[in-house]
């Protein structure tokens, strides 16, 4: 009985298979023992076949000696849960307004349902995943985000329990990594009075990658990567190139928040930040273990 994976390899000769594996060897050697922070979101998170691919990729990276850490989002799942309790999500300048009741829903969706689904998938694929929130081991300290109006900076919007990161204590993550576990982190921080904060998952992943001095930050998204004005994929950029692309309007709108964390990480010592097309099966593995581009790589210099 052949599995779908075996059937899909039928057309590849043994020689070609050996070449594919041999090509991966320099990358395995180069990144052995290095930390990879992966922001898991978009289609890769909601399509069952892509979920399976993602879990297998994470386990494989761990088995060949890398240290993957997963940070996940969960916007669509939160919207679905809020609808079930009769609440409609409201947004100000792209930020979810998070009152106390909404925060409760966010916590049980992210730290309960979504996190445990990911942990289960990785474990089923042969890994040892452990779920964490920002509370565990004092991982993510946060404070209330003060959001200035984009048209009138003197005016502030109150978006409730939305947080910005004050500090990250990576001790619990490092302890798990050193012990063969794969940490799966929900982007929930805690404040000085033990209150919970909903934090943008891209920002958590970027900050964590910076604090851990990660080799790579991989952001799985629903886009091909950064495109030029002609719609062509830009496969390799420096942080300075990005500044120029923002200045001339090539990068704008919804792309900016995704890029903001990526640039911060690249400028703060993360060697490479990859914006990866999560709609491509095994895109993350191919991005790390081959010289083909499945998105945009932003180099620190």
Ligand-binding annotation for 198, yes or no, is yes
DSSP helix/strand/coil, 236: strand
Say which residues have a Cβ less than 8 Å from residue 223's Cβ, sequence separation at least 6. 255, 275, 277
In DSSP notation, 84-134 reads HTT----EETTEE-B-HHHHHHHHIIIIIIIHHHHHHHHHHTT--EEEE-T
- Cα–Cα distance measured from residue 32 to residue 119, given in angstroms and rounded to the nearest whole number: 23
Nearest to 234 by CA among 259, 257, 216, 215: 259
- Element spanning 79, H or E: helix 75-84
Burial of 211 (0-12, 13-18, 19+ CB in 10 A): middle
- Cα–Cα distance measured from residue 9 to residue 11, given in angstroms and rounded to the nearest whole number: 6
- Cα–Cα distance measured from residue 234 to residue 121, given in angstroms and rounded to the nearest whole number: 32
- Cα–Cα distance measured from residue 238 to residue 299, given in angstroms and rounded to the nearest whole number: 5
Residue pair 82/92 in contact (Cβ under 8 Å)? The answer is no
Ligand-binding annotation for 75, yes or no, is yes
Q: Residue length, the chain?
A: 301
Ligand-binding annotation for 96, yes or no, is yes
Ligand-binding annotation for 135, yes or no, is no
Say which residues have a Cβ less than 8 Å from residue 187's Cβ, sequence separation at least 6. 71, 72, 73, 110, 134, 140, 198, 199, 200, 201, 203, 204
Binding residues for substrate: 74-75, 96, 198
Binding residues: 74-75, 96, 198
């Amino acid at each position: 009985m052949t599995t779908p994976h075996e059937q899909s390899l039928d057309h590849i000769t043994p020689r070609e298979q050996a070449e594919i594996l041999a090509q991966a060897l320099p990358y395995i050697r180069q990144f052995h023992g290095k930390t990879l922070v992966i922001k898991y979101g978009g289609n890769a998170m909601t399509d069952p076949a892509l979920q399976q691919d993602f879990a297998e990729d994470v386990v494989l990276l761990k088995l060949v000696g890398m240290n993957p850490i997963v940070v996940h989002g969960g916007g669509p799942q939160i919207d679905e849960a809020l609808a079930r309790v009769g609440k409609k999500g409201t947004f100000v300048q792209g930020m979810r307004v998070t009152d106390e009741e909404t925060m409760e829903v966010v916590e049980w969706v992210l730290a309960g349902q979504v996190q445990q689904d990911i942990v289960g998938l990785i474990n089923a694929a042969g890994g040892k995943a452990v779920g964490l929130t920002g509370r565990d081991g004092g991982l993510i300290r946060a404070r209330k985000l003060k959001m200035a109006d984009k048209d009138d900076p003197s005016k502030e919007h109150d978006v409730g329990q939305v947080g910005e990161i004050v500090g990250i204590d990576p001790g619990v993550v490092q302890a798990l990594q050193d012990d063969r576990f794969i940490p799966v982190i929900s982007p929930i921080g805690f404040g000085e009075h033990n209150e919970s904060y909903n934090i943008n998952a891209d920002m958590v992943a970027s900050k964590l990658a910076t604090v851990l001095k990660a080799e790579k930050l991989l952001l799985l998204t629903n886009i091909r990567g950064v495109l030029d004005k002609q719609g062509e994929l830009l496969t390799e950029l420096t942080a300075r190139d990005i500044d120029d692309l923002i200045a001339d309007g090539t990068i704008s709108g919804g792309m900016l928040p995704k890029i903001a964390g990526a640039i911060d990480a690249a400028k703060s010592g993360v060697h490479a930040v990859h914006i990866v097309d999560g709609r491509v099966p095994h895109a993350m593995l191919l991005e790390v273990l081959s010289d083909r581009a499945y998105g945009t790589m932003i180099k620190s210099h």
